[in-house]
Structure 1
């Protein structure tokens, strides 16, 4: 028994955790990360960067999701830095604050990627259904279905986007840069809309459009709660130390 437990990899441990624990941890850490100072932000950025390296590359998102989000964060941080300098802020201060802003945004993205990569849409929907049942009653399954479809569509959108960018490089190498965003957005929307019917049929074929399909059943209740609560506690401790 102990030998089998010792063979569990970090990725397998993350996959086997109770989705309620992971969802609650993400919801608690989100506001804390946004209020952390520079030192706490750097610590959590490194922590969740390690989690992303463990969880994301072998998931449906792939390493392209990490690169794409890193570019997104770099663009926003650069834009903030330029606007701060334009408004009269000192260059060193603007660069420092923009770097902290980018690190916070990247940490939140890493947190979301780890959650999505280690939790199936069905598990996440069941966790949300369990959490919303006291407030919404028998209608909680509709919110669970909506969240499951959203999470399911994210890796599909990343895959479609990568394919479209590759096709644009091969077929339109001389396309002006100003036309690339519009062409990419049009192709992505068309691709995702064409698969909407297939997703609708899949939901109906698996009887996921019924409340019975979203009754919360968890194979390992509250597994992973101690390390997740410890992580939240340490993040809150960093928040109080910096203030």
Structure 2
């Protein structure tokens, strides 16, 4: 049941997914806190369903750790400015909730739509403004999205390799070795990505046109989303 639902989400038109993500991303800063909490809970559930069985998990844990760290810093700054504890907790908690929902939205989009299909949607959207050069922005964005799971995978392998070769390292050693090694690995893979783009003939406008088909279910999902989101922000 959950696999069929995830497959149905991935079959949605990427233009709909990208458009809804942009609209919801802006709306998350205008919605009431209760609506943001409901949207965050839905996005977390959707992330877990879409990331089920994927290598390395969903990737939500480091994002949520970042939110906790940022909310702690925001709380400390608010207390430093002399804001009462209760008000500072409320302020940092609201920011943490909105930021967590925003990060989960981006994670859900990356799990639901492949980098290639996001590029096709972006090329379609940019074509009225950039003409035949729209494929360049689409290719750049698709490569950026593609690098997110690749970076996570390389980081996971680096950590495993360091733990096997050196045993337990101190926090200072990890903070020094892991970023430097990750930058080196990603720099080496740049040539591989360039060859892959050329071999698949993705370095031209022909590769970024067509391939999109709007269906009735896309219209239904878009209409349902609009009916839910518009009352929450108006």
TM-score by length of structure 1 reads: 0.89
Assess if the C-alpha contact under 8 Å between 1:121 and 1:151 holds in 2. Answer: yes
Which digits, 9 at most, give the CA deviation of each residue in 1:164-195, with x for residues without a partner? 22333444455332342232211111111111
| Larger relative contact order (Cα-Cα within 8 Å, sequence gap ≥ 6) | 1
Aligned to 1:69: 63
Structure 1 residue aligned with 2:76: 82
Aligned to 1:92: 86
Confirm whether residue 11 of structure 1 aligns to residue 6 of structure 2: yes
Structure 2 vs 1, CA of residues 139 and 160 (structure 1 numbering), >3 Å: closer, same or farther? Answer: same
Q: Secondary structure at the match of 1:88?
A: coil
Any stretches of 5+ residues in structure 2 without a counterpart? none
CA deviation after TM superposition for structure 1 residue 45, in Å? 0.9
Q: Give the distance between the partners of 2:208 and 2:20, measured in 1 at CA.
A: 21
Residue 23 of structure 2 aligns with which residue?
A: 28
1:119-152 Cα offsets, whole Å, 9 max, x none, are: 1111111100100000000100101111111111
What is the distance in 2 between the residues matched to 1:151 and 1:81? 32
What is the rounded CA distance, in whole Å, between the counterparts of 2:56 and 2:168 in structure 1? 29
Check conservation: 1:61, 1:155, Cα contact below 8 A: no
CA distance in 2 between partners of 1:211 and 1:17 (Å) = 23
Query: Partner of 2:29: helix, strand, or coil?
Result: helix
**CA distance change for structure 1 residues 133 and 221 in 2, over 3 Å: closer, same or farther?**
farther
**Consecutive unaligned residues in structure 1, runs of 5 or more:** 1-5
Q: Residue 82 of structure 2: SS of its match in structure 1? A: coil
The farther-off stretch of 208-217 and 176-185 is 176-185
Tell me which of 111, 117, 120 is aligned to 1:123: 117
1:215 positional shift: 0.7
Q: Report the TM-score when normalising by structure 2.
A: 0.92
Structure 2 counterpart of 1:149, from 138, 143, 150: 143
